[in-house]
Amino acid sequence: MTPLQYRKAQIWTDNTVLNINNYDYEYWKDSGNGTMIITANANNGSFSCEWHNINNIVFRSGKKFKYYDRTHKQLGNISLKYDAAYNSNGISYLALYGWTVDPLIEWYIIECYAEHNPARKFKHLGAHDTDGGTYELYCTTRENGSSILGVRDFGQYWSIRTVGRFSGTVNVSAHLCAWENMGLTLGNLTETALSVEGWQSSGKAAVNTNILTIKPIANMEVTANEIPQAKEIDEK
């Protein structure tokens, strides 16, 4: 399937999942008002968004992998370079995000958050230094939660940057390895994305740069524009 090219901006106000220029964009909400804008001929996963009077809302752009048959180590070294403007009140965060299967795990790398640490009540595992900062590691279990495989139990892993930032390069593989070094298990990677998420909050963000790069074992760098397009999956 050829990725779609658009001459006009995409303006979304309802739940939508669409591949544009080899990036998988997603807008999801359960209630309230929000808008996601993808500019004409958007490159490198860029988008802007705004929300208010919501319960839970998600704006996301990244890559869903075509087959769920490789771990992050088998895929290679994964990194994401981003630059964003972000302003919010209430519970909200700018994060890298993904899932694994076998086992089913939802993971977050929080680059900055608005009101408080979203993982503060979860089990604290320790800390690790990477990407020019310190990240606190947490884990928890969701029971009967919404997942990429439907409603079921699954694990959640969190890596929270102690001093937030709005731009930089995240060594995704380093965070995944840090959880594994704490004794946690990850399965086959299904996606990696940059995400803006809000809970009972208002805010806006503009993601100007969002470049996902994978360096396979053969040491040949591959950007998201060159990664095979993903199959569609049901997402929360």
Which residues are part of the catalytic machinery? 106, 197
Instruction: Give yes or no for a cis peptide into 103 (omega within 30° of 0).
Output: yes
By the 10 Å C-beta count (0-12 exposed, 13-18 middle, 19+ buried), 191 is classed as buried
Radius of gyration of the chain measured on its C-alpha atoms: 16
Q: Are 112 and 86 in contact (CB under 8 A)?
A: yes
Backbone φ and ψ of 195, nearest 5°: -135, 140
Residue 55's CB: how many other CB atoms inside 10 A?
A: 12
Q: Which residues pair with 126 in a beta bridge?
A: 137
Backbone φ and ψ of 30, nearest 5°: -105, -20
- The helix/strand/coil state of 229 is coil
CA gap 172, 65 in Å, rounded: 15
CA distances from 5 to 21, 41, 67 (A): 6, 6, 24
